[in-house]
Structure 1
Amino acid sequence: MSTGQMHPGQHPIDDDLVRRLIAGQFPQWSGLPVERFPSGGTVNAMYRLGDSMVVRLPLVRGGAKDVAMEQEWLPHLAPRLPTAIPEVLGAGEPAEGYPWPWSVYGWLAGELPEAGALSEPVLLAKDLAEFVAAMQSITLPGAPQAHRGGPVSSLDAETRAAIEELRGIPQEDVDCDAAAAAWEDALRTPDWDGPSVWLHADLMPGNLLVDGGRLTSVIDFGCTGVGDPACDLFPAWNLLPADAREVFREALGVDDATWNRGRGRTLSQALIALPYYRRTNPAMAYNARHVIRAVLGES
Protein backbone atom coordinates (compact mmCIF):
# COMPACT_ATOMS: atom_id res chain seq x y z
CA MET A 1 0.00 0.00 0.00
CA SER A 2 1.26 3.51 -0.78
CA THR A 3 2.57 5.69 2.02
CA GLY A 4 2.39 8.96 0.08
CA GLN A 5 1.54 10.45 -3.30
CA MET A 6 3.31 8.33 -5.90
CA HIS A 7 2.96 10.54 -8.97
CA PRO A 8 2.82 14.21 -9.93
CA GLY A 9 -0.70 15.14 -11.03
CA GLN A 10 -2.26 12.36 -8.98
CA HIS A 11 -6.01 12.96 -8.58
CA PRO A 12 -7.42 12.75 -5.05
CA ILE A 13 -9.86 9.85 -4.68
CA ASP A 14 -11.82 8.90 -1.58
CA ASP A 15 -14.78 6.77 -0.53
CA ASP A 16 -17.24 9.64 -0.89
CA LEU A 17 -16.22 10.36 -4.49
CA VAL A 18 -16.63 6.69 -5.40
CA ARG A 19 -20.08 6.58 -3.76
CA ARG A 20 -21.17 9.66 -5.74
CA LEU A 21 -19.87 8.22 -9.01
CA ILE A 22 -21.69 4.93 -8.42
CA ALA A 23 -24.92 6.64 -7.37
CA GLY A 24 -24.88 8.89 -10.43
CA GLN A 25 -24.05 6.27 -13.05
CA PHE A 26 -24.99 2.88 -11.59
CA PRO A 27 -27.93 3.54 -9.27
CA GLN A 28 -28.67 -0.20 -9.06
CA TRP A 29 -25.49 -0.50 -6.95
CA SER A 30 -25.81 2.74 -4.98
CA GLY A 31 -26.81 1.04 -1.72
CA LEU A 32 -23.78 -1.24 -1.61
CA PRO A 33 -20.92 -0.54 0.80
CA VAL A 34 -17.79 1.10 -0.64
CA GLU A 35 -14.40 0.50 0.96
CA ARG A 36 -10.87 1.33 -0.21
CA PHE A 37 -8.92 -1.81 -0.96
CA PRO A 38 -5.24 -1.57 0.00
CA SER A 39 -3.11 -2.24 -3.05
CA GLY A 40 0.49 -1.90 -4.14
CA GLY A 41 -0.71 -0.89 -7.60
CA THR A 42 0.82 2.21 -9.11
CA VAL A 43 -1.76 3.38 -11.67
CA ASN A 44 -5.22 2.80 -10.14
CA ALA A 45 -7.10 3.13 -6.86
CA MET A 46 -9.30 0.15 -6.00
CA TYR A 47 -12.51 0.12 -3.98
CA ARG A 48 -14.57 -2.89 -3.00
CA LEU A 49 -18.20 -2.44 -4.01
CA GLY A 50 -20.32 -4.83 -2.00
CA ASP A 51 -19.04 -8.39 -1.84
CA SER A 52 -18.77 -9.20 -5.52
CA MET A 53 -17.41 -6.12 -7.33
CA VAL A 54 -14.45 -3.76 -7.38
CA VAL A 55 -14.22 -0.20 -8.71
CA ARG A 56 -10.94 0.76 -10.37
CA LEU A 57 -10.13 4.41 -10.99
CA PRO A 58 -6.96 5.81 -12.60
CA LEU A 59 -4.83 7.93 -10.29
CA VAL A 60 -3.20 9.84 -13.16
CA ARG A 61 -4.10 10.89 -16.69
CA GLY A 62 -1.83 8.23 -18.22
CA GLY A 63 -3.98 5.50 -16.69
CA ALA A 64 -7.10 6.59 -18.56
CA LYS A 65 -6.07 4.86 -21.79
CA ASP A 66 -5.61 1.62 -19.85
CA VAL A 67 -9.30 1.74 -18.88
CA ALA A 68 -10.38 1.88 -22.51
CA MET A 69 -7.88 -0.86 -23.37
CA GLU A 70 -9.36 -3.24 -20.81
CA GLN A 71 -12.95 -2.42 -21.66
CA GLU A 72 -12.27 -3.20 -25.32
CA TRP A 73 -10.05 -6.27 -25.08
CA LEU A 74 -10.85 -8.19 -21.87
CA PRO A 75 -14.08 -9.68 -23.27
CA HIS A 76 -12.13 -11.00 -26.28
CA LEU A 77 -9.21 -12.37 -24.26
CA ALA A 78 -11.18 -14.06 -21.47
CA PRO A 79 -12.57 -17.05 -23.41
CA ARG A 80 -9.14 -17.75 -24.87
CA LEU A 81 -7.27 -18.01 -21.56
CA PRO A 82 -6.98 -20.86 -19.04
CA THR A 83 -6.96 -18.49 -16.06
CA ALA A 84 -9.67 -16.13 -14.83
CA ILE A 85 -9.22 -12.45 -15.74
CA PRO A 86 -11.32 -9.40 -14.78
CA GLU A 87 -14.83 -9.04 -16.19
CA VAL A 88 -15.97 -5.49 -16.92
CA LEU A 89 -19.43 -4.98 -15.39
CA GLY A 90 -19.68 -1.23 -15.83
CA ALA A 91 -17.90 1.49 -17.82
CA GLY A 92 -17.85 4.73 -15.83
CA GLU A 93 -17.52 8.21 -17.26
CA PRO A 94 -15.89 11.39 -15.89
CA ALA A 95 -18.17 13.10 -13.35
CA GLU A 96 -18.25 14.68 -9.89
CA GLY A 97 -14.98 16.47 -10.59
CA TYR A 98 -13.23 13.21 -11.44
CA PRO A 99 -11.71 13.71 -14.90
CA TRP A 100 -11.18 10.22 -16.40
CA PRO A 101 -13.08 7.07 -17.36
CA TRP A 102 -13.18 4.26 -14.79
CA SER A 103 -14.54 0.73 -14.51
CA VAL A 104 -16.48 -1.65 -12.30
CA TYR A 105 -15.26 -5.25 -12.42
CA GLY A 106 -16.31 -8.52 -10.89
CA TRP A 107 -14.31 -9.28 -7.77
CA LEU A 108 -11.69 -12.02 -8.12
CA ALA A 109 -10.74 -13.71 -4.86
CA GLY A 110 -7.23 -14.85 -4.03
CA GLU A 111 -3.98 -13.86 -2.41
CA LEU A 112 -1.00 -12.08 -3.90
CA PRO A 113 2.04 -14.34 -4.20
CA GLU A 114 5.22 -13.18 -2.50
CA ALA A 115 8.70 -13.99 -3.72
CA GLY A 116 10.46 -16.19 -1.21
CA ALA A 117 7.20 -17.37 0.36
CA LEU A 118 5.58 -19.51 -2.35
CA SER A 119 3.98 -22.75 -1.15
CA GLU A 120 3.99 -24.44 -4.60
CA PRO A 121 6.65 -22.65 -6.67
CA VAL A 122 7.10 -25.36 -9.32
CA LEU A 123 3.36 -25.80 -9.85
CA LEU A 124 2.94 -22.03 -9.95
CA ALA A 125 5.70 -21.85 -12.58
CA LYS A 126 3.76 -24.34 -14.72
CA ASP A 127 0.53 -22.36 -14.24
CA LEU A 128 2.26 -19.14 -15.27
CA ALA A 129 3.80 -20.80 -18.32
CA GLU A 130 0.38 -22.10 -19.34
CA PHE A 131 -1.08 -18.59 -19.10
CA VAL A 132 1.81 -17.00 -21.04
CA ALA A 133 1.65 -19.68 -23.74
CA ALA A 134 -2.10 -19.16 -24.09
CA MET A 135 -1.61 -15.40 -24.47
CA GLN A 136 1.03 -15.96 -27.12
CA SER A 137 -1.25 -18.29 -29.08
CA ILE A 138 -4.05 -15.73 -29.42
CA THR A 139 -4.76 -14.27 -32.84
CA LEU A 140 -7.09 -11.28 -32.82
CA PRO A 141 -7.24 -8.58 -35.50
CA GLY A 142 -6.41 -4.98 -34.70
CA ALA A 143 -4.17 -5.78 -31.74
CA PRO A 144 -2.55 -2.77 -30.05
CA GLN A 145 1.16 -2.55 -29.37
CA ALA A 146 1.96 -3.66 -25.83
CA HIS A 147 3.45 -1.22 -23.38
CA ARG A 148 7.16 -2.13 -23.13
CA GLY A 149 6.69 -4.43 -26.14
CA GLY A 150 9.28 -2.81 -28.40
CA PRO A 151 13.03 -3.40 -28.63
CA VAL A 152 15.13 -3.57 -25.45
CA SER A 153 17.08 -0.51 -26.66
CA SER A 154 13.94 1.62 -26.20
CA LEU A 155 14.48 1.22 -22.44
CA ASP A 156 18.14 2.23 -22.52
CA ALA A 157 18.07 5.91 -21.60
CA GLU A 158 15.65 5.47 -18.71
CA THR A 159 17.52 2.43 -17.39
CA ARG A 160 20.91 4.16 -17.45
CA ALA A 161 19.44 7.21 -15.72
CA ALA A 162 18.01 4.96 -12.99
CA ILE A 163 21.38 3.27 -12.44
CA GLU A 164 23.02 6.66 -12.03
CA GLU A 165 20.29 7.74 -9.63
CA LEU A 166 20.83 4.59 -7.57
CA ARG A 167 24.55 5.38 -7.34
CA GLY A 168 23.47 8.41 -5.31
CA ILE A 169 21.36 6.31 -2.90
CA PRO A 170 24.00 4.25 -1.06
CA GLN A 171 21.49 2.99 1.50
CA GLU A 172 19.91 0.87 -1.24
CA ASP A 173 23.21 -1.02 -1.55
CA VAL A 174 22.79 -1.80 -5.26
CA ASP A 175 25.91 -2.96 -7.10
CA CYS A 176 25.45 -0.40 -9.84
CA ASP A 177 28.52 -1.52 -11.79
CA ALA A 178 27.15 -5.07 -11.94
CA ALA A 179 23.70 -3.74 -12.87
CA ALA A 180 25.19 -1.67 -15.68
CA ALA A 181 27.15 -4.70 -16.96
CA ALA A 182 24.02 -6.88 -16.91
CA TRP A 183 22.13 -4.17 -18.80
CA GLU A 184 24.90 -3.91 -21.40
CA ASP A 185 24.65 -7.66 -21.87
CA ALA A 186 20.91 -7.35 -22.53
CA LEU A 187 21.53 -4.61 -25.09
CA ARG A 188 23.94 -6.88 -26.99
CA THR A 189 21.28 -9.57 -27.32
CA PRO A 190 19.62 -9.75 -30.76
CA ASP A 191 16.16 -8.19 -30.97
CA TRP A 192 13.09 -10.36 -31.54
CA ASP A 193 12.70 -10.96 -35.28
CA GLY A 194 9.64 -13.21 -35.16
CA PRO A 195 5.98 -12.21 -35.25
CA SER A 196 4.65 -10.06 -32.44
CA VAL A 197 2.65 -12.08 -29.92
CA TRP A 198 -0.07 -11.19 -27.43
CA LEU A 199 1.31 -10.21 -24.02
CA HIS A 200 -0.04 -9.30 -20.64
CA ALA A 201 3.13 -7.15 -20.41
CA ASP A 202 2.96 -6.48 -16.66
CA LEU A 203 3.19 -9.85 -14.90
CA MET A 204 4.18 -8.43 -11.53
CA PRO A 205 3.30 -10.34 -8.33
CA GLY A 206 0.68 -7.69 -7.58
CA ASN A 207 -1.17 -8.65 -10.78
CA LEU A 208 -1.38 -12.35 -9.93
CA LEU A 209 -3.80 -14.08 -7.57
CA VAL A 210 -3.16 -17.48 -6.07
CA ASP A 211 -5.04 -19.98 -3.91
CA GLY A 212 -3.24 -22.88 -2.29
CA GLY A 213 -0.11 -21.74 -4.09
CA ARG A 214 -1.69 -22.17 -7.56
CA LEU A 215 -2.49 -19.39 -10.02
CA THR A 216 -6.21 -18.59 -10.05
CA SER A 217 -6.42 -15.16 -11.72
CA VAL A 218 -4.39 -12.61 -13.62
CA ILE A 219 -5.47 -8.97 -13.30
CA ASP A 220 -4.58 -5.51 -14.64
CA PHE A 221 -4.36 -5.74 -18.41
CA GLY A 222 -3.66 -2.04 -18.93
CA CYS A 223 -0.35 -2.78 -20.66
CA THR A 224 -1.63 -5.60 -22.85
CA GLY A 225 -1.05 -5.86 -26.58
CA VAL A 226 1.41 -7.49 -28.95
CA GLY A 227 5.20 -7.41 -28.96
CA ASP A 228 8.36 -9.28 -27.99
CA PRO A 229 7.53 -12.51 -26.10
CA ALA A 230 10.38 -11.70 -23.69
CA CYS A 231 8.08 -9.12 -22.09
CA ASP A 232 6.07 -11.83 -20.33
CA LEU A 233 9.06 -13.55 -18.73
CA PHE A 234 8.97 -11.17 -15.74
CA PRO A 235 7.82 -13.83 -13.23
CA ALA A 236 11.05 -15.78 -13.76
CA TRP A 237 12.93 -13.15 -11.75
CA ASN A 238 10.29 -11.13 -9.92
CA LEU A 239 8.66 -14.15 -8.28
CA LEU A 240 10.06 -17.63 -8.93
CA PRO A 241 13.05 -19.24 -7.18
CA ALA A 242 15.83 -20.64 -9.35
CA ASP A 243 14.48 -24.20 -9.73
CA ALA A 244 10.97 -23.04 -10.60
CA ARG A 245 12.47 -20.43 -12.93
CA GLU A 246 13.94 -23.24 -15.00
CA VAL A 247 10.62 -25.09 -15.01
CA PHE A 248 8.95 -21.90 -16.30
CA ARG A 249 11.55 -21.54 -19.05
CA GLU A 250 11.40 -25.19 -20.10
CA ALA A 251 7.59 -25.21 -20.21
CA LEU A 252 7.66 -22.24 -22.58
CA GLY A 253 10.63 -23.47 -24.63
CA VAL A 254 12.40 -20.12 -24.43
CA ASP A 255 15.55 -19.68 -26.53
CA ASP A 256 18.70 -18.04 -25.13
CA ALA A 257 18.21 -14.66 -26.80
CA THR A 258 14.60 -14.31 -25.65
CA TRP A 259 15.57 -15.38 -22.12
CA ASN A 260 18.36 -12.80 -22.02
CA ARG A 261 16.04 -10.07 -23.24
CA GLY A 262 13.48 -11.10 -20.64
CA ARG A 263 16.06 -10.89 -17.88
CA GLY A 264 17.21 -7.50 -19.11
CA ARG A 265 13.66 -6.16 -19.35
CA THR A 266 12.86 -7.37 -15.84
CA LEU A 267 16.05 -5.81 -14.48
CA SER A 268 15.30 -2.54 -16.27
CA GLN A 269 11.82 -2.35 -14.77
CA ALA A 270 13.23 -2.95 -11.28
CA LEU A 271 16.06 -0.43 -11.63
CA ILE A 272 13.61 2.24 -12.75
CA ALA A 273 11.02 1.40 -10.09
CA LEU A 274 13.33 1.35 -7.07
CA PRO A 275 14.36 5.01 -6.91
CA TYR A 276 10.90 6.15 -8.02
CA TYR A 277 8.84 4.15 -5.51
CA ARG A 278 11.24 3.61 -2.62
CA ARG A 279 9.47 6.18 -0.40
CA THR A 280 5.88 5.85 -1.64
CA ASN A 281 5.18 2.22 -2.54
CA PRO A 282 6.84 -0.37 -0.28
CA ALA A 283 5.51 -3.34 -2.29
CA MET A 284 6.99 -2.10 -5.56
CA ALA A 285 10.28 -1.17 -3.91
CA TYR A 286 10.52 -4.54 -2.17
CA ASN A 287 9.96 -6.42 -5.40
CA ALA A 288 12.45 -4.22 -7.26
CA ARG A 289 15.13 -5.09 -4.73
CA HIS A 290 14.27 -8.78 -5.08
CA VAL A 291 14.57 -8.63 -8.89
CA ILE A 292 17.93 -6.85 -8.77
CA ARG A 293 19.29 -9.49 -6.38
CA ALA A 294 17.87 -12.33 -8.49
CA VAL A 295 19.25 -11.05 -11.80
CA LEU A 296 22.65 -10.05 -10.49
CA GLY A 297 22.87 -13.36 -8.64
CA GLU A 298 22.75 -15.12 -12.03
CA SER A 299 25.50 -13.00 -13.58
Structure 2
Amino acid sequence: MNASPMPPADVDVSLDLVHRLVADQMPDLADRRLRMLAHGWDNVMVRIGDELIAPRTPPADHGEAARALAAFLAALHVPAPDHAPRNPVRGIPLAGRAARLADNLDRLGTRVDGHTVTRVFRAAAEAPAWDGAPVWLHGDLHPANILVHGGRVSAVIDFGDITAGDPATDLAVAWMLLPADEHRAFWGTYAAASQHPADGALRIRAHGWALALSVAFLAHSADNPLMAGIGRRTLNAVMADVA
Protein backbone atom coordinates (compact mmCIF):
# COMPACT_ATOMS: atom_id res chain seq x y z
CA MET A 1 0.00 0.00 0.00
CA ASN A 2 0.95 3.65 -0.40
CA ALA A 3 0.45 6.63 1.87
CA SER A 4 -3.11 7.85 1.55
CA PRO A 5 -4.70 11.27 1.24
CA MET A 6 -6.50 12.55 4.29
CA PRO A 7 -9.80 10.79 5.05
CA PRO A 8 -12.74 12.55 3.38
CA ALA A 9 -14.55 15.02 5.60
CA ASP A 10 -18.14 14.37 6.65
CA VAL A 11 -19.03 17.91 5.50
CA ASP A 12 -17.40 19.69 2.55
CA VAL A 13 -16.58 23.16 3.89
CA SER A 14 -16.11 25.46 0.91
CA LEU A 15 -15.43 29.18 0.84
CA ASP A 16 -18.96 29.67 -0.47
CA LEU A 17 -20.36 27.85 2.58
CA VAL A 18 -18.18 29.90 4.91
CA HIS A 19 -19.30 33.12 3.22
CA ARG A 20 -22.95 32.19 3.69
CA LEU A 21 -22.42 31.26 7.34
CA VAL A 22 -20.54 34.49 8.06
CA ALA A 23 -23.19 36.57 6.31
CA ASP A 24 -25.91 34.88 8.33
CA GLN A 25 -24.22 34.81 11.73
CA MET A 26 -21.78 37.74 11.60
CA PRO A 27 -23.09 40.12 8.94
CA ASP A 28 -20.68 42.86 10.02
CA LEU A 29 -17.86 40.71 8.60
CA ALA A 30 -19.63 39.64 5.43
CA ASP A 31 -17.67 42.03 3.19
CA ARG A 32 -14.27 40.71 4.26
CA ARG A 33 -12.22 38.62 1.86
CA LEU A 34 -12.03 34.91 2.73
CA ARG A 35 -8.96 32.74 2.24
CA MET A 36 -8.34 29.09 3.08
CA LEU A 37 -5.48 29.05 5.56
CA ALA A 38 -5.16 25.40 6.56
CA HIS A 39 -7.13 22.19 6.77
CA GLY A 40 -6.98 19.10 8.91
CA TRP A 41 -8.67 15.72 8.68
CA ASP A 42 -12.08 17.05 9.65
CA ASN A 43 -11.81 20.83 9.75
CA VAL A 44 -10.69 23.89 7.82
CA MET A 45 -9.34 27.24 8.95
CA VAL A 46 -10.40 30.27 6.97
CA ARG A 47 -8.89 33.71 7.26
CA ILE A 48 -11.45 36.52 7.38
CA GLY A 49 -9.97 39.77 6.18
CA ASP A 50 -6.36 40.62 7.00
CA GLU A 51 -6.22 41.03 10.77
CA LEU A 52 -8.33 38.32 12.42
CA ILE A 53 -5.82 35.49 12.18
CA ALA A 54 -2.10 35.42 11.52
CA PRO A 55 0.04 32.86 9.70
CA ARG A 56 1.19 29.98 11.91
CA THR A 57 4.69 30.33 13.32
CA PRO A 58 6.60 28.38 15.97
CA PRO A 59 6.88 29.80 19.49
CA ALA A 60 9.72 32.27 19.98
CA ASP A 61 10.59 30.78 23.39
CA HIS A 62 10.17 27.01 23.53
CA GLY A 63 10.73 26.98 27.28
CA GLU A 64 7.81 29.33 27.80
CA ALA A 65 5.74 27.26 25.37
CA ALA A 66 6.57 24.08 27.29
CA ARG A 67 5.38 25.58 30.56
CA ALA A 68 2.26 27.11 29.01
CA LEU A 69 1.17 23.86 27.37
CA ALA A 70 1.92 21.82 30.47
CA ALA A 71 -0.11 24.19 32.64
CA PHE A 72 -2.99 24.06 30.15
CA LEU A 73 -3.00 20.27 30.13
CA ALA A 74 -2.76 20.01 33.90
CA ALA A 75 -5.83 22.24 34.18
CA LEU A 76 -7.69 20.22 31.53
CA HIS A 77 -6.80 16.76 32.85
CA VAL A 78 -9.26 16.55 35.69
CA PRO A 79 -11.63 13.62 36.30
CA ALA A 80 -14.40 13.54 33.73
CA PRO A 81 -18.00 12.66 34.56
CA ASP A 82 -19.46 9.30 33.61
CA HIS A 83 -21.37 10.84 30.71
CA ALA A 84 -18.23 12.33 29.12
CA PRO A 85 -17.79 11.26 25.49
CA ARG A 86 -15.59 8.29 24.70
CA ASN A 87 -13.39 8.09 21.63
CA PRO A 88 -12.65 4.58 20.31
CA VAL A 89 -9.11 5.54 19.22
CA ARG A 90 -7.98 8.27 21.67
CA GLY A 91 -7.47 8.00 25.42
CA ILE A 92 -7.61 4.21 25.23
CA PRO A 93 -4.97 1.71 26.39
CA LEU A 94 -2.05 2.08 24.02
CA ALA A 95 -2.25 -1.55 22.91
CA GLY A 96 -5.57 -0.67 21.30
CA ARG A 97 -3.65 1.29 18.67
CA ALA A 98 -1.52 -1.68 17.58
CA ALA A 99 -3.68 -2.76 14.63
CA ARG A 100 -3.89 0.80 13.27
CA LEU A 101 -0.14 1.19 13.66
CA ALA A 102 0.48 -2.00 11.69
CA ASP A 103 -1.87 -0.84 8.91
CA ASN A 104 -0.21 2.57 8.74
CA LEU A 105 3.25 1.02 8.58
CA ASP A 106 2.09 -1.13 5.67
CA ARG A 107 0.96 2.01 3.86
CA LEU A 108 4.31 3.70 4.42
CA GLY A 109 6.44 0.75 3.36
CA THR A 110 10.13 1.57 3.26
CA ARG A 111 9.55 5.24 4.10
CA VAL A 112 9.96 4.33 7.77
CA ASP A 113 11.79 1.60 9.69
CA GLY A 114 8.72 -0.46 10.50
CA HIS A 115 10.61 -3.07 12.53
CA THR A 116 12.12 -0.50 14.89
CA VAL A 117 8.88 1.48 15.16
CA THR A 118 6.99 -1.68 16.09
CA ARG A 119 9.58 -2.67 18.68
CA VAL A 120 9.52 0.76 20.34
CA PHE A 121 5.72 0.88 20.28
CA ARG A 122 5.40 -2.56 21.89
CA ALA A 123 7.73 -1.52 24.70
CA ALA A 124 5.55 1.53 25.38
CA ALA A 125 2.36 -0.54 25.23
CA GLU A 126 3.77 -2.82 27.93
CA ALA A 127 4.16 0.06 30.40
CA PRO A 128 1.74 0.04 33.34
CA ALA A 129 -1.69 1.14 32.13
CA TRP A 130 -3.53 4.22 33.35
CA ASP A 131 -5.31 3.15 36.53
CA GLY A 132 -6.87 6.46 37.54
CA ALA A 133 -10.28 7.84 36.72
CA PRO A 134 -10.70 8.91 33.08
CA VAL A 135 -9.73 12.56 32.73
CA TRP A 136 -10.83 15.16 30.21
CA LEU A 137 -8.69 15.11 27.06
CA HIS A 138 -8.38 17.44 24.11
CA GLY A 139 -7.92 14.31 22.02
CA ASP A 140 -6.19 15.88 19.01
CA LEU A 141 -3.42 18.07 20.39
CA HIS A 142 -0.72 18.72 17.80
CA PRO A 143 1.08 21.82 16.47
CA ALA A 144 -1.57 22.65 13.87
CA ASN A 145 -4.10 23.01 16.70
CA ILE A 146 -1.92 25.34 18.76
CA LEU A 147 -2.05 29.05 17.95
CA VAL A 148 0.92 31.35 18.49
CA HIS A 149 0.53 35.12 18.76
CA GLY A 150 3.41 37.49 19.33
CA GLY A 151 5.75 34.51 19.64
CA ARG A 152 3.76 33.02 22.54
CA VAL A 153 1.29 30.13 22.72
CA SER A 154 -2.06 31.92 22.83
CA ALA A 155 -4.76 29.30 22.26
CA VAL A 156 -5.59 25.66 21.65
CA ILE A 157 -8.27 25.04 19.04
CA ASP A 158 -10.29 22.17 17.52
CA PHE A 159 -11.97 20.39 20.41
CA GLY A 160 -13.94 18.16 18.05
CA ASP A 161 -12.26 15.03 19.46
CA ILE A 162 -12.71 15.96 23.13
CA THR A 163 -13.00 12.77 25.14
CA ALA A 164 -12.00 11.15 28.42
CA GLY A 165 -9.34 8.60 29.23
CA ASP A 166 -5.57 8.30 29.65
CA PRO A 167 -3.83 11.71 29.71
CA ALA A 168 -0.85 10.19 27.87
CA THR A 169 -2.70 10.81 24.60
CA ASP A 170 -2.51 14.59 24.98
CA LEU A 171 0.96 14.57 26.54
CA ALA A 172 2.38 13.21 23.29
CA VAL A 173 2.49 16.88 22.23
CA ALA A 174 5.86 17.16 24.00
CA TRP A 175 7.50 15.30 21.10
CA MET A 176 5.33 17.00 18.49
CA LEU A 177 6.20 20.59 19.34
CA LEU A 178 9.07 20.90 21.79
CA PRO A 179 12.81 20.36 21.38
CA ALA A 180 14.26 17.68 23.62
CA ASP A 181 15.97 20.14 25.97
CA GLU A 182 12.58 21.62 26.93
CA HIS A 183 10.95 18.35 27.93
CA ARG A 184 12.18 18.72 31.51
CA ALA A 185 10.34 22.05 31.82
CA PHE A 186 7.21 20.53 30.29
CA TRP A 187 7.08 17.52 32.58
CA GLY A 188 8.14 19.47 35.64
CA THR A 189 5.36 22.01 35.17
CA TYR A 190 2.80 19.30 34.48
CA ALA A 191 3.80 17.27 37.53
CA ALA A 192 3.63 20.31 39.81
CA ALA A 193 0.18 21.39 38.61
CA SER A 194 -1.65 18.15 37.82
CA GLN A 195 -3.98 16.25 40.12
CA HIS A 196 -2.30 12.92 39.43
CA PRO A 197 1.31 11.70 39.40
CA ALA A 198 3.33 12.36 36.26
CA ASP A 199 5.27 9.14 36.70
CA GLY A 200 7.59 7.26 34.40
CA ALA A 201 4.81 5.03 33.06
CA LEU A 202 2.80 8.07 31.97
CA ARG A 203 5.80 9.43 30.08
CA ILE A 204 6.47 6.09 28.42
CA ARG A 205 2.87 5.83 27.25
CA ALA A 206 2.97 9.43 26.00
CA HIS A 207 6.11 8.52 24.04
CA GLY A 208 4.22 5.59 22.52
CA TRP A 209 1.27 7.80 21.63
CA ALA A 210 3.58 10.29 19.92
CA LEU A 211 5.00 7.41 17.88
CA ALA A 212 1.59 6.05 16.90
CA LEU A 213 0.27 9.48 15.95
CA SER A 214 3.36 10.40 13.94
CA VAL A 215 2.97 7.28 11.82
CA ALA A 216 -0.76 7.97 11.36
CA PHE A 217 -0.04 11.51 10.19
CA LEU A 218 2.54 10.28 7.71
CA ALA A 219 0.31 7.51 6.38
CA HIS A 220 -2.73 9.71 5.75
CA SER A 221 -1.37 13.08 4.65
CA ALA A 222 -0.21 12.52 1.09
CA ASP A 223 -2.16 15.65 0.12
CA ASN A 224 -1.33 17.75 3.18
CA PRO A 225 2.33 18.82 3.54
CA LEU A 226 1.62 20.51 6.90
CA MET A 227 0.39 17.32 8.57
CA ALA A 228 3.01 15.20 6.83
CA GLY A 229 5.71 17.53 8.16
CA ILE A 230 4.35 17.24 11.69
CA GLY A 231 4.38 13.47 11.34
CA ARG A 232 7.98 13.34 10.12
CA ARG A 233 9.31 15.74 12.76
CA THR A 234 7.49 13.88 15.52
CA LEU A 235 8.74 10.51 14.35
CA ASN A 236 12.30 11.81 14.26
CA ALA A 237 11.95 13.23 17.78
CA VAL A 238 10.50 10.02 19.19
CA MET A 239 13.12 7.81 17.61
CA ALA A 240 15.94 10.11 18.77
CA ASP A 241 14.94 9.24 22.32
CA VAL A 242 15.68 5.57 21.75
CA ALA A 243 18.71 5.88 19.50
Same fold (TM over 0.5): yes
The 1:274–1:43 alpha-carbon spacing in structure 2 relative to 1, beyond 3 Å, is: same
Given that 1:110 and 1:209 are in contact with CA atoms closer than 8 Å, whether structure 2 keeps it comes out as no
Shift of 1:200: 1.0
Aligned residue pairs: how many?
Answer: 232
The 1:130–1:111 alpha-carbon spacing in structure 2 relative to 1, beyond 3 Å, is: farther
Q: Which residue of 2 aligns with 1:122?
A: 63
Q: Which residue of 1 aligns with 2:76?
A: 135
Shift of 1:15: 2.5
Q: Write the distance in 2 (CA, Å) between the matches of 1:129 and 1:139.
A: 19
Q: Write the distance in 2 (CA, Å) between the matches of 1:148 and 1:216.
A: 24
Shift of 1:10: 6.4
Q: Which residue of 1 aligns with 2:208?
A: 264
Shift of 1:175: 2.1
- Unpaired runs of at least 5, structure 2: 192-197
Q: Which residue of 2 aligns with 1:276?
A: 220
Which of the numbers 98, 114, 135 marks the counterpart of 1:176? 114
Q: Write the distance in 2 (CA, Å) between the matches of 1:297 and 1:290.
A: 11
Q: Which residue of 1 aligns with 2:43?
A: 44
Q: Write the distance in 2 (CA, Å) between the matches of 1:225 and 1:8.
A: 22
Matching residue's letter, 2:14: D
- Alignment partner of 1:17 is 2:17: yes
Shift of 1:11: 5.2
- Alignment partner of 1:26 is 2:50: no
Matching residue's letter, 2:224: N
Q: Please, what TM-score do these two structures have when normalized by structure 2? A: 0.84
Shift of 1:271: 0.8
Q: Percent identity?
A: 34
Which of the numbers 85, 101, 108 marks the counterpart of 1:159? 101
Q: Write the distance in 2 (CA, Å) between the matches of 1:139 and 1:10.
A: 27
Q: Secondary structure at the match of 2:220?
A: helix
Q: Which residue of 1 aligns with 2:156?
A: 218
Shift of 1:216: 0.9
Deviations 1:41-96 (A, max 9, x none): 221123344578xxxxxxxxxxxxxxxxxxxxxxxxxxxxxxxxxxxxxxxxxxxx
Q: Write the distance in 2 (CA, Å) between the matches of 1:35 and 1:276.
A: 27
Q: Write the distance in 2 (CA, Å) between the matches of 1:251 and 1:161.
A: 36
After the TM superposition, which of the residue ranges 209-218 and 31-40 deviates more from structure 2? 31-40
Matching residue's letter, 1:282: P
Q: Secondary structure at the match of 2:96?
A: helix
Matching residue's letter, 1:158: R
Which of the numbers 152, 155, 165 marks the counterpart of 1:227? 165
Q: Secondary structure at the match of 2:178?
A: coil
Shift of 1:137: 3.3
The 1:136–1:158 alpha-carbon spacing in structure 2 relative to 1, beyond 3 Å, is: same
Matching residue's letter, 1:6: M
Q: Which residue of 2 aligns with 1:294?
A: 237
Matching residue's letter, 1:143: A
Q: Secondary structure at the match of 1:6?
A: coil
Q: Secondary structure at the match of 1:125?
A: helix
Q: Please, what TM-score do these two structures have when normalized by structure 1? A: 0.69
Deviations 1:88-108 (A, max 9, x none): xxxxxxxxxxxxxxxxxxx6x
Q: Write the distance in 2 (CA, Å) between the matches of 1:151 and 1:260.
A: 12
Q: Write the distance in 2 (CA, Å) between the matches of 1:111 and 1:244.
A: 24
The 1:184–1:27 alpha-carbon spacing in structure 2 relative to 1, beyond 3 Å, is: closer
The 1:20–1:119 alpha-carbon spacing in structure 2 relative to 1, beyond 3 Å, is: closer
Shift of 1:184: 1.0
Deviations 1:4-54 (A, max 9, x none): 97334665543333333444x4374574325133114221123344578xx
Given that 2:90 and 2:163 are in contact with CA atoms closer than 8 Å, whether structure 1 keeps it comes out as no
Q: Which residue of 1 aligns with 2:199?
A: 255
Q: Which runs of 4+ in 1 moved over 6 A?
A: none
Shift of 1:136: 1.3
Given that 2:124 and 2:207 are in contact with CA atoms closer than 8 Å, whether structure 1 keeps it comes out as yes
Given that 2:62 and 2:182 are in contact with CA atoms closer than 8 Å, whether structure 1 keeps it comes out as yes
